[in-house]
Structure 1
Amino acid sequence: MCCSVGFARSLGLALLPLALCCIVGNLLLLFPMGEIRYIQEGRLSLYILYFGGLGGGGLLMLIPAVVFITLGKCGCCWNESLMMCGSVLAAGVGMMGSGYCFVISGLALMEGPKCFTSYGWEHPFSDQKGRYLLQPDSWSQCIQPLHIVEWNVTLLSVLLALAVLEFIICLLQLGSGLVNAVCRPCCYKQEYSLNA
């Protein structure tokens, strides 16, 4: 068989834990230090509520993962062609989801957390364009939630890294699916001439 179904399945299996980690990471961002009162009181950054990890890097990523894993269940040529088209489309969906996760996580990281300072609840780092990340001494401005800057920076950095990995995996399958779609007619001709 010309297409590498095993390769696609391994990519799908790799996407599953990445998607799960994105979902967990986004859920942890919703509950700083394990407390629910901040989301109840509307004390979270708006970017956190855009669910970049939960929706884009998590639930949406389950579509390509399932499609890649289930490739090759049918042996007929017509279904193989449809599967290649399906895997390419699913890879495109995955790339959009991981891209959304990356952009939202990056914007949330640049803006910084919403926290209680000596001036009340605000985004103390929103006008710094991410420079606060290199100035950990300034993080003490956030009085409450305790260690919110470290919490957000760690989780958002993890989401950024996971989104990059997911994008690369989907890009690999997109390339593999397109190459196999182009190579398939040549492979069938060679198989036919060998069997003749």
Structure 2
Amino acid sequence: MCCSVGFARSLGLALLPLAICCIMANLLLLFPMGEIAYIQQGRLTKYIWYFGGLGGGGILMLVPAVVFITLGKCNCCWNESLMMCGSVLAAVVGLLGSGYCFVMSGFDLLEGPMCYTNSLSWSYPFSDKTGSYLLQPEMWSQCHQPVHIVEWDVTLLCVLLGLAVLEFVICLLQLGNGLVNAVCRPCCYKQEYSLNA
């Protein structure tokens, strides 16, 4: 049991920086090249407003991180029997959060940024390309404003996708750890009881 609790705590400690990085990446998406004018003018892609990194991969991910880190620190009488079940529920919350972050970042990446284009209007010039623009950097010059917006968005969204995958794997590991302990622990108690009897 001590090993599984220690493992869960280490997973929680790994989740914390990932959640903070997701929040930072999402905030940077709101301010292309560090400028606030575009958010004031509503010139950001629609998927940014779903806050995949801020909500799903960030704030929601703090729930399993805190639960995993504090696992077993309370010496209440009910703690030993329920703490692994609680960690399983927290892991499910983490899976949902990381999945949401991954999906929203993926949709945003496929659609591409909103920018001021050669047609002298604000639009989504890559929305009909189904992501093929990612492999054709020569097309990125269609966006004049914000400057280097394609590189900015692609970099941050790829970071969010990578972080979401790591968070998903960590939560999946704890889901397995918690389920194994929830199932095996009662069996161990029965064996100990029968041996002592």
Range class of TM-score, shorter chain: over 0.9
Q: Unaligned regions of 5+ residues in structure 2, if any?
A: none
Deviation (angstroms), 1:189: 3.0
Amino acid at match of 1:31: F
Residue identity matched to 1:129: T
Amino acid at match of 1:39: I
Shift of 1:3: 6.2
Are 2:188 and 1:187 equivalent residues in the alignment?
Answer: yes
**Which residue of 1 is the match for residue 166 of structure 2?**
165
Residues 3 and 180 of structure 1 are in contact (CA less than 8 Å); yes or no, is this contact kept in structure 2? no
**Which residue is 1:149 aligned to?**
150
Contact 1:87–1:173 at 8 Å: present in 2 too? yes
* Equivalences for residues 101-116 of structure 1 within 5 A: 101-116=101-116
Deviation string, structure 1 residues 38-66 (Cα, Å, up to 9, x no partner): 00000000001110000000000000000
Q: CA shift at 1:195, angstroms?
A: 5.5
Per-residue CA deviation, residues 83-131 of structure 1 (Å, 9 max, x unaligned), is 1111011000000000000000000000000000122100000000000
Structure 1 alignment gaps of length 5 or more: none
Shift of 1:188: 1.8
Quick one: percent identity of the two aligned structures?
81
State the secondary structure of the residue aligned to 2:39.
Answer: helix
Look up the match of 1:30: 30
Partner residue, 2:59: 59
The two structures, once aligned, show a CA RMSD in angstroms of 1.4
CA distance in 2, matches of 1:82, 1:176: 14
Contact 1:9 1:69 in 2 (8 A): yes
Q: Distance in 1 between matches of 2:102 and 2:143?
A: 25
The equivalent residue for 1:96 is 96
Q: Give 4+ residue runs of structure 1 displaced > 6 Å after superposition.
A: none
Alpha-carbon distance in structure 2 between the residues aligned to 1:54 and 1:17? 13
TM-score by length of 1: 0.96
Task: Report the 3-state secondary structure (helix = DSSP H, G, I; strand = E; otherwise coil) of the residue aligned with 1:128.
Answer: coil
Return 91-100 or 2-11, whichever deviates more: 2-11
Structure 1 contact 117–141 (Cα < 8 Å) conserved: yes
TM-score, length of structure 2 as denominator length: 0.95
User: Does 2:128 align with 1:127?
Assistant: yes
